[in-house]
Amino acid sequence: MNPRHATASQWYASTFRDMGRYPESLEIVLRAREFDPLSGIIGVNTGLTYALKGDISSAEEQFNRVSRAFYREAGLDVAARF
């Protein structure tokens, strides 16, 4: 697998996450996010991995980042919400 392929890396990270191997999953999904920082699914999977790992504050921050990007892309002003 090409580690620079963000989508493949995201799915690979999901496999580790589903096996409960959160540190490895997080390392891979964060690398995927470096290559595609605007990907919503990579952002959601990053947040989910943080949450399952028990890092709730990082998960919340990541989910808020994804939400802001979604609303911004949709042309909606939600700065007051987050």
- In this structure, the number of other CB atoms found within 10 A of the CB of residue 20 comes to 9
Cα torsion 45, 15, 25, 57 to 10°: value is: 40
User: Cα separation of 56 and 74, whole Å?
Assistant: 27
Phi, psi values for residue 6, rounded to 5°: -60, -45
Using a cut of 0.75, tell me whether the model's pTM lies above it: yes
Residue by residue, pLDDT tens for the chain (82 residues) are 776 789 899 999 999 999 999 999 999 999 999 999 889 999 999 999 999 999 999 999 999 999 888 777 667 665 555 5
3-state secondary structure of 20: coil
**Measured CA distances, 25 to 37, 42, 63, 72, 74 (Å):** 17, 12, 17, 28, 30
